Structure 1
Amino acid sequence: MTPTELRQAEAEYCKSDPVYFVENYCHIEDKDADELIQPFTLWPGQKDALNDFATHRLCVVLKARQLGFTWLALAESARLLVLWTGRTVIGLSRSEAEAKELVRRLGVILLYMPEFVAPADHVPAGWAGPTFEQSALSLTVHFPDGPDSVFNGFASSPSVGRSFTADLIVIDEWAFQQYAHEIWQSAFPVVNRPNGGRVIGLSTIKRGTLFEEIFTNPTNDFHKIFLPWSADPRRDESWYRRTLGALGEDKTMEEYPATVDEALTVPGGAFFPELKDIHRAANPPEVPGRRYVTIDYGLDMLSAHWVDIDTTGRAIVYREYNEPNKTIGQAAEIINQLSAGEDIELFLAPPDLWNRSQESGKSRAQLFSEAGLNLTMSSRDFAAGCAAIKEWLSLDSEGKPYMQFYRCKNLVNCMTKIQKDEKNPNVYAKEPHSLTHAVDSLRYFCVWWTNPAAKTESRRKVHWEPDLYEDYENADSEGRAYLIKKYGNPF
């Protein structure tokens, strides 16, 4: 057989055996070794994962830190790029610097694979096989008898998913990528073909993220892979004890979990550990009590909740609404429709809705009023609001909750996932922002009820028409007091 025929026969075998390919033809950087470049010798967990990468179209990997899985995913990328013509692999990273690092590492793998590919600027004499060249964010394999194969590195951005087609997408540190939801919504159709397209998503855990949602969802099509800290056979119990002493229990469990449950627990991370099954109401309020609607509004999300308080002071959040891209007019109409036939005491909203627009001179609260929904301002005290929610979640002496939730799946889900702020454990984290809308809405009710910024009596008695607002703006203090007494507070 000629060298070319031998290479082709070996390539065919490597197509069917990813472990053989990696252990015989891939090199990586090992900063702990005497020589930086080392053959990629696989641990048992890496071998199993590599076979899973080749077998399953959608793979999500929850792992401990520093287990070489970025190198492993790049090795599988290299197998696809150098053994098949016309293939495209995309690497998604948190930043441009990290995207460049993916391309650089892939270049290292190919540079030390002379059996299958040669650098375009140093082609050996008599070489008739593929060559490769790379730039900062891309690497291209040129074939003498077929179309190029390409690896492109991208930094996380809302539109990146629509920028490419791909045979394989590698998502590195998925839980820590900004715009993860937007990227996945646009990237999944790229690989969602009947006979092709794969995803390898890698990350350590971060609660409340798309990565966690995908890994913990038992009904999606993802193949779940978990690698504990002990997957590296060089790590023993003494190594773990030293790590525990250096990082503490919470951080060690987060960065170096031993089990899936340990990875997902992240002790001390959840902001509402008080939330239990006992807080789920089996039925809606039997007899209507005092009812309130509380909202968090922005074009990115309208989140509204209906709260009923009975004569004993216990509350049931009995309805929720969460949808993005609603104008103020649409939001007001939706809330009024959902509240039809109910005696709503107040519609509570955050103070920022009373900030006046420089363009129109009107606040969003005023625009809501003109659209038929009169709002009452809640408190802006974030810490007090967080504490107030916890008070409502507490149990009485008989073990009964002061607040329950009836069919408010999104709110309960957000409250379960939302974490403590890393710098201030007295408040919940504002990232991921997708978790905060519903919790913010509930907070505006809880903090208002605990220490109301506006009494029930301040509820508007009439709809404030534009001319009435004009009279109020032009009136002196005595005139404004008269208007408020007669028509209610305009704000």
Structure 2
Amino acid sequence: MNTRLVELKQEAEWRRCVRDESYFLQNYWHIAHPAHGRILFGLRQAQEEAIQHWAANRYSLTLKARQIGWSTLVAAHQFWLAFFHPDQNIIDLSRTERESVLLLRKSKYGYQHLPKWMVERGPKSLVEHQQRMGFDNGSQITSLPSASDPARGESATLIVVDEWAFLPNPEDAWSSIEPVADVGGRIIGLSTANGSGNFYHQLWVGATTGANKFEPMFYPWSATEDRGDSWYQEKVESMLPWQLAQEYPTTPEEAFVKSGNPVFDLDILEEMSKHTTFGETGYLHRNGSAIEFRI
């Protein structure tokens, strides 16, 4: 009788995890914390919002600060999709092969530490490769560098583009994944800023003005609760202004305007701006050797 009750409880838990991603992550998903080792994934409010945003929008574009747990979150999200839902073909695009391996490793880490009953109740693992994991429910996750053009010709349900602004071929990556989304797939784009006028900045401007299909999200350095004013002040004192803006922006404008290793002294420009009458605002767009001012 006790065994039957346990089985019924486990089945109820399984069904709740299928329905409620946040519940699964907070109660069963473990991450490797750099200071505390293996811990349960305690979702922060900003991460809860991101999960809801991904569920509601096929095209999602996130501008974010560094080290706020978003690669960890997307690794957990894609596993939940593949493990609990059949026929999911998920593709990750990263800057390098090493980064693609590290992203998928986070998904595999959480899988390795699931309860035994959940692993046995779930689909069986069929593929064990450093850049791929797959299950007998027809779902798989493939994590590759963008230069390998892995998305072209694929029929994907989700494509994750990590650090899009820093890809060696951001335009080519987009040209290969856009047709996938057009037939029903979803795209999650994530990145810190890398200056203005580049392809990712154009995507962001289009998202915020309604000129493309992406829905934008911005998460500043304070998106994680363990960072306060004293933490930020330490960064101010130890980093160059453009580095601070790129890694730990407070606003999207700061992220794009001040990042990317600018030529001019930003503090001097900021002081000059106090005595300047502004006209039309825009950004610089590079097209080959030509540079255009766009509004």
| TM-score interval, smaller chain | 0.7 to 0.9
In structure 2, list runs of 5 or more residues that go unmatched: 266-276
Assess, with a 3 A threshold, how the Cα gap between structure 1 residues 117 and 178 changes in structure 2: closer, same or farther: farther
Q: Is the 8 A contact 2:246 2:260 kept in 1?
A: no
Q: Is the 8 A contact 2:84 2:122 kept in 1?
A: no
Deviations along 1:111-132, one digit per CA (max 9) or x if unpaired, are 11226753xxxxxxxx453222
Work out which structure has the larger RCO, using CA pairs closer than 8 Å and 6 or more positions apart in sequence. Answer: 2
Residue in 1 that maps onto 2:203: 214
Residue in 2 that maps onto 1:246: 238
Q: 1:31 aligns with which of 27, 34, 53?
A: 34
Q: Is the 8 A contact 1:28 1:37 kept in 2?
A: yes
Q: Is the 8 A contact 2:83 2:122 kept in 1?
A: no
Q: Is the 8 A contact 1:4 1:128 kept in 2?
A: no
Residue in 1 that maps onto 2:55: 54
Q: CA deviation at 1:3?
A: 6.1
Q: CA deviation at 1:5?
A: 5.9
Q: 2:132 aligns with which of 126, 138, 150?
A: 138
Deviations along 1:383-434, one digit per CA (max 9) or x if unpaired, are xxxxxxxxxxxxxxxx9xxxxxxxxxxxx98x7145xxxxxxxxxxxxxxxx
Assess, with a 3 A threshold, how the Cα gap between structure 1 residues 255 and 13 changes in structure 2: closer, same or farther: same
Q: Is the 8 A contact 1:60 1:225 kept in 2?
A: yes
Assess, with a 3 A threshold, how the Cα gap between structure 1 residues 269 and 91 changes in structure 2: closer, same or farther: same
**Within the alignment, does 1:42 sit opposite 2:43 as a pair?**
yes
Assess, with a 3 A threshold, how the Cα gap between structure 1 residues 11 and 216 changes in structure 2: closer, same or farther: farther
DSSP-derived class of the 2:255 partner: helix
Assess, with a 3 A threshold, how the Cα gap between structure 1 residues 23 and 199 changes in structure 2: closer, same or farther: same
- Measure, in 2, the Cα distance between the counterparts of 1:11 and 1:159: 36
Residue in 2 that maps onto 1:255: 247
Q: 1:224 aligns with which of 216, 226, 229?
A: 216
Residue in 2 that maps onto 1:180: 170
Q: Which amino acid aligns with 2:49?
A: D
Residue in 1 that maps onto 2:90: 89
Assess, with a 3 A threshold, how the Cα gap between structure 1 residues 9 and 57 changes in structure 2: closer, same or farther: farther
Q: Is the 8 A contact 2:64 2:219 kept in 1?
A: yes
DSSP-derived class of the 2:39 partner: strand
Q: CA deviation at 1:271?
A: 6.2
Q: CA deviation at 1:235?
A: 0.7
**Within the alignment, does 1:76 sit opposite 2:77 as a pair?**
yes
Residue in 1 that maps onto 2:284: 416
Q: Which amino acid aligns with 1:175?
A: A
Residues matched between the structures, number: 270
Assess, with a 3 A threshold, how the Cα gap between structure 1 residues 64 and 128 changes in structure 2: closer, same or farther: closer
Q: Which amino acid aligns with 1:198?
A: R
Q: Which amino acid aligns with 2:199?
A: L
- Measure, in 1, the Cα distance between the counterparts of 2:163 and 2:117: 30
Q: CA deviation at 1:87?
A: 1.1
- Measure, in 1, the Cα distance between the counterparts of 2:6 and 2:138: 22
- Measure, in 2, the Cα distance between the counterparts of 1:264 and 1:50: 25
Alpha-carbon RMSD across the aligned residues, in angstroms, is 2.7
Assess, with a 3 A threshold, how the Cα gap between structure 1 residues 261 and 161 changes in structure 2: closer, same or farther: same
In structure 1, list runs of 5 or more residues that go unmatched: 119-126, 274-398, 400-411, 419-434, 441-491
Q: Which amino acid aligns with 2:29?
A: C
Q: CA deviation at 1:57?
A: 1.0
Q: CA deviation at 1:96?
A: 1.0
Assess, with a 3 A threshold, how the Cα gap between structure 1 residues 131 and 153 changes in structure 2: closer, same or farther: same
Deviations along 1:33-75, one digit per CA (max 9) or x if unpaired, are 1xx1111111111111111112211111100000110010111
Assess, with a 3 A threshold, how the Cα gap between structure 1 residues 7 and 191 changes in structure 2: closer, same or farther: farther
- Measure, in 2, the Cα distance between the counterparts of 1:436 and 1:271: 20
Assess, with a 3 A threshold, how the Cα gap between structure 1 residues 8 and 199 changes in structure 2: closer, same or farther: farther
Deviations along 1:146-165, one digit per CA (max 9) or x if unpaired, are x3210001111263331522
Q: CA deviation at 1:107?
A: 0.5
TM-score by length of 2: 0.82
Residue in 1 that maps onto 2:111: 110
DSSP-derived class of the 1:102 partner: helix
Q: CA deviation at 1:230?
A: 0.7
Residue in 2 that maps onto 1:380: none
DSSP-derived class of the 2:243 partner: helix
Q: CA deviation at 1:185?
A: 1.1
Question: Which structure has the highest helix share of the two?
Answer: 2
Q: Is the 8 A contact 1:92 1:172 kept in 2?
A: yes
Q: 2:122 aligns with which of 109, 129, 133?
A: 129
- Measure, in 1, the Cα distance between the counterparts of 2:117 and 2:188: 24
Residue in 2 that maps onto 1:63: 64
Q: Is the 8 A contact 2:93 2:161 kept in 1?
A: yes
Assess, with a 3 A threshold, how the Cα gap between structure 1 residues 167 and 268 changes in structure 2: closer, same or farther: closer
Deviations along 1:426-455, one digit per CA (max 9) or x if unpaired, are xxxxxxxxx333249xxxxxxxxxxxxxxx
Q: Is the 8 A contact 2:62 2:218 kept in 1?
A: yes
- Measure, in 2, the Cα distance between the counterparts of 1:67 and 1:14: 25
DSSP-derived class of the 1:51 partner: helix
DSSP-derived class of the 1:157 partner: helix
Q: Is the 8 A contact 1:160 1:183 kept in 2?
A: no
Q: Is the 8 A contact 2:59 2:186 kept in 1?
A: yes
